[in-house]
Amino acid sequence: MKIRSTTILAVRHKGRVALAGDGQVSLGNTVMKHQARKVRRLYHDRVITGFAGATADAFTLYDKLEQKLEQYSGNLLRAAVELAKEWRTDKYLRRLEAMMIAVDRDHSLLLSGTGDVIEADRGVLAIGSGGPYAQAAALALIDHSDLDAEAICQAAMEIAANICVFTNSSIIIESI
């Protein structure tokens, strides 16, 4: 599933994890909003999430993930796997057009409606139309700079915003 119109980036580096999202909301080729908040904290602020895709669908996923986190006492990996199973098999949820990245102190996970729960080898995940640009920039910065996770997110998101027309430089970063 290719989701356009946003960039979400997670970077795990030097004992920290940061998740960033841009603020642009596009409808077709028109920018409708410049400062949307696509990054949100869940489960007593111990989990940070970001979404790409339809907003209403993303809020449904936030609610479902929050329920799973409550059910599994904040265990993100277990909650994500159970959400992915439900997302893939439930007749209503299957139609949701969104992807999500969720991070906590121990895990950085990409969740999709096809049942994927992916944890990156190098601690960098990205989704949305600017995701490949942000991910490439973040990996280069990890290898060739002394920046921390938050600074890498900021720099990589700015690079993506300069390349992807569906991404802007109004960046929100949350970290643990």
Just list the catalytic residues: 6
Select from 39, 164, 58 the least CA-distant residue to 111: 58
Please give the sequence-ordered ranges of beta strands (E in DSSP) within 113-154, or none if there are none. 117-118, 124-127
Q: Tokens representing 6?
A: 């946003």
Q: How far apart are CA 147 and CA 110, in angstroms?
A: 23
The residue written with tokens 């999430």 in the block is: 49
Q: How far apart are CA 73 and CA 70, in angstroms?
A: 5
Cα 151 → chain centroid:
17
Type of residue found at 39? V
**Sign of the four-CA dihedral 96, 23, 50, 165:** positive
